[in-house]
């Protein structure tokens, strides 16, 4: 009897071990495939940190150059930087594609003398906020109101659909890449709301086109912020809130608290307009992300998974989530959807 009992236990153990081993193997394969997946679809996802951190503050490096150089001075800009052609112009500055030691760079110059304060503010923000989220500063000349930054040939985020529809980049036109770009965008807002200078608000954001023009699309398919001319500081502990300019804002894109509260009952008066905080940036996240996600296979499924967090972004300011909460949700959705994509392949392999 004892022998028969032992034999039964042995048979049971032998029957249970293979499923357990298969389960362990499946988990290992899923994690391996996820690792390979992220390295394949977004090979440079962590490299931006390395690029900026490898040089101390006040220094930069471009391209494949290993050595760091100090930010270029007025004298060096005049002597070594050559303008090639104008590539853009806004209310504050004009931008030229230029060349420095065989490197393509973007040279920005003030267009309207009355906006000197905005230009200098943008330069100070650029100097203080250098990180993987911000365009790389190469040099500046404050006396001449000139700034030199790294050049990104894809241009602003407005060009996203045009770039991804090019035959050369169609393999990148997927919901995976687009969601990662949206994660980049929300990561920038989180960085600005928790910056070394305090809580900063993206004020140049009265409509979708204006928001998209503030960001650049890099050749490695990252989003970085480029225009920092309008970044007022919120300090709730000191009771310091902000207003984006001194003119009346209108339309559905801006947050409700940015609209004149008295409607047609009274003409707009800046001194009576209530101030607000960084939650105006949160309100705009769903609209910007909707553009980034585009109309590709799987993008509607991503929108479905983001429905609740996007709904929360449209609540009253006190009820809106922080940029950190939105960012965490985006990352969880990405991980969940990738696992759903990888698991069927794992089952096939087993």
Q: What is the pLDDT of residues 142-190, one digit of tens each?
A: 999 999 999 999 999 999 999 999 999 999 999 999 999 999 999 999 9
State the pLDDT confidence band at 26, using cuts at 50, 70 and 90.
low
Residues 193 and 233: their CA atoms lie apart, in Å, by: 9
Averaged pLDDT for residues 108-113: 93
With a pLDDT cut of 70, the percent of the chain lying above it is 82
Give the dihedral sign, CA 135/138/143/144.
Answer: negative
Residues linked to residue 109 through DSSP beta bridges, in sequence order: 94, 146
Q: What is the pLDDT of residue 92?
A: 87
Residue 48 has pLDDT above 50, yes or no: no
Where is average pLDDT lowest: 27-31, 100-104, 156-160, 236-240?
27-31
Look at 34 and 333; give whichever has higher pLDDT.
333
Q: What is the pLDDT of residue 58?
A: 95
Contact between 182 and 305 under an 8 Å Cβ cutoff? The reply is: no
Q: What is the pLDDT of residue 50?
A: 40
Residue 108 has pLDDT above 50, yes or no: yes
Structure token digits, residue 255: 């947050």
Domains of the chain: 69-151 (3.30.200.20), 152-342 (1.10.510.10)
Residues 222 and 158: their CA atoms lie apart, in Å, by: 13
Averaged pLDDT for residues 246-274: 95
Q: What is the pLDDT of residue 320?
A: 98
Residues 82 and 102: their CA atoms lie apart, in Å, by: 10
Helical residues (DSSP H) of 262-298, grouped into ranges:
279-293
Instruction: State which H helix or E strand residue 200 sits in.
Output: strand 199-200
Return the SS3 of 225: strand
User: What does 105-160 look like in DSSP terms, one character per residue?
Assistant: EEEEEE--GGGHHHHHHHHHHHHHT-STTBPPEEEEETTTTEEEEE--TT-BGGGH
Q: Between β-strands 69-70 and 81-89, what pairing exists: parallel, antiparallel or unpaired?
A: unpaired
State the pLDDT confidence band at 90, using cuts at 50, 70 and 90.
confident
Residues 225 and 290: their CA atoms lie apart, in Å, by: 18
Contact between 331 and 198 under an 8 Å Cβ cutoff? The reply is: no
Give the dihedral sign, CA 202/205/211/213.
Answer: negative
Q: What burial letters (b/e) apply to 235-273, b meaning 16+ CB within 10 Å?
A: eeeeeebbbbeeeebeeebbbebbbbeeeeeeeeeeeeb
Instruction: State which H helix or E strand residue 26 sits in.
Output: helix 2-41
State the pLDDT confidence band at 45, using cuts at 50, 70 and 90.
very low
Rounded to two decimals, the pTM is: 0.85
Residue 47 has pLDDT above 90, yes or no: no
Averaged pLDDT for residues 16-30: 59
Q: What is the pLDDT of residue 340?
A: 84
Ramachandran angles phi, psi of 242, nearest 5°: -135, 165
Return the SS3 of 59: strand
Structure token digits, residue 75: 């004298």
Structure token digits, residue 238: 């000191």
Averaged pLDDT for residues 95-124: 94
Averaged pLDDT for residues 247-256: 96
Contact between 97 and 104 under an 8 Å Cβ cutoff? The reply is: yes
Structure token digits, residue 190: 């989180």
Return the SS3 of 29: helix
The packing angle between helices 279-293 and 175-193, to 10°, is 160
Structure token digits, residue 175: 């919901």
Count Cβ atoms below 10 Å from residue 43 Cβ, excluding itself: 11
Interior angle at CA 317, CA 315 and CA 318, nearest 5: 100
Where is average pLDDT lowest: 22-26, 54-58, 110-114?
22-26
């Amino acid at each position: 009897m004892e022998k028969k009992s032992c034999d039964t236990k042995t048979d049971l153990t032998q029957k249970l071990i293979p499923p357990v081993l298969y389960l362990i193997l499946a988990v290992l394969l899923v994690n391996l495939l996820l690792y390979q997946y992220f390295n394949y679809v977004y090979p440079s996802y962590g490299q931006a940190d390395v690029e900026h951190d490898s040089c101390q503050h006040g220094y930069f490096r471009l391209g494949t150059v290993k050595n760091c150089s100090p930010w270029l001075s007025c004298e060096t800009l005049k002597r070594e930087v050559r303008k090639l052609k104008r590539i853009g112009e806004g209310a504050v500055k004009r931008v030229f594609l230029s060349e420095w030691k065989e490197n393509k760079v973007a040279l920005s110059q003030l267009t309207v003398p009355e906006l000197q304060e905005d230009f200098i503010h943008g330069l100070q923000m650029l100097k203080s906020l250098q990180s993987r989220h911000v365009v790389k500063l190469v040099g500046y000349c404050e006396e001449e109101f000139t700034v030199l930054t790294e050049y990104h040939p894809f241009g602003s985020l407005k060009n996203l659909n045009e770039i991804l529809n090019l035959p050369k980049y169609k393999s990148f036109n997927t919901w995976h890449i687009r969601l990662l770009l949206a994660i980049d965008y929300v990561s920038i807002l989180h960085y600005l709301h928790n910056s070394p200078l305090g809580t900063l608000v993206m004020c140049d954001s009265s409509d979708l086109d204006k928001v998209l023009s503030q960001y650049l699309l890099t050749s490695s398919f990252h989003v970085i912020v480029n225009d920092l001319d309008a970044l007022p500081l919120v300090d709730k502990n000191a009771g310091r809130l902000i207003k984006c300019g001194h003119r009346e804002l209108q339309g559905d894109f801006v947050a409700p608290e940015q609209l004149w509260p008295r409607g047609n009952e009274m003409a707009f008066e800046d001194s009576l307009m209530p101030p607000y905080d960084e939650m105006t940036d949160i309100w705009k996240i769903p609209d910007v992300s909707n553009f980034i996600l585009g109309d590709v296979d799987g993008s509607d499924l991503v929108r479905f998974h983001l429905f609740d967090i996007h709904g929360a972004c449209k609540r009253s300011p006190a009820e809106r989530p922080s940029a950190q909460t939105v960012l965490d949700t985006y990352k969880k959705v990405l991980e969940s959807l990738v696992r759903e994509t990888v698991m069927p392949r794992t089952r096939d392999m087993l």
